[in-house]
Structure 1
Amino acid sequence: MPFIVTEPCVQCKYTDCVEVCPMDCFVEGPNFLAIDPAGCIDCSVCVPQCPVDAIVNASEATQAQRPYIAINAQAAQQWPSITRRQPPLPEHGQWAGVSDKLHLLISPA
């Protein structure tokens, strides 16, 4: 199973993970990153790079994280690829520890 980006990324959008991805699987939305499941080789190199622990293996996703499997797949179809580190969102520090942020996700159309 591929890895997915989950709720802690919403409103933070740290990009430390994109630099280490050997397959360039990350895509970027307005306030969230996602992983293209078709390109992910399950290497897990990105996992320790995320400062908010937003990246998990889809097969190990909790019930609360399961919606992000579809969100990542849909985003991969619509959002542009990102391969270089960029600054996180301006208010990332305020959002890093907040839970229940799914309603804030600017979803792929």
Structure 2
Amino acid sequence: MMKRMGFEWNLRRLMASQDMYQTTDLVPKLAEYGVHLSREQVFRLVTQPPQRLSMDTLAALCGILGCTPGDLITVKEVRRQVAKPAASGETVSAAEVPPARRVRVQRPEGL
């Protein structure tokens, strides 16, 4: 079995804990820290784990949310099974990843 490191991107959860439910809520807050991103870029930043993230953006997110980089990113080991030849000469498929589930974030009652 081959070891591989992955991560979970917790921005959306941290935003919800600060009562920020719209991705556009971040645009002016980032601008206060000198980080100017379009609404589309912020939407992708919130909804998808980034593959590249500037230190300025990371620092701004930490300042806005009152958190550390370790709160935004949870590093975890991802185990992947390497394909091995089967007795019949066919290859065994890699471990299947469970399908993604849609999650709906709702505001607490009374807001």
TM-score by length of 1: 0.31
TM-score by length of 2: 0.30
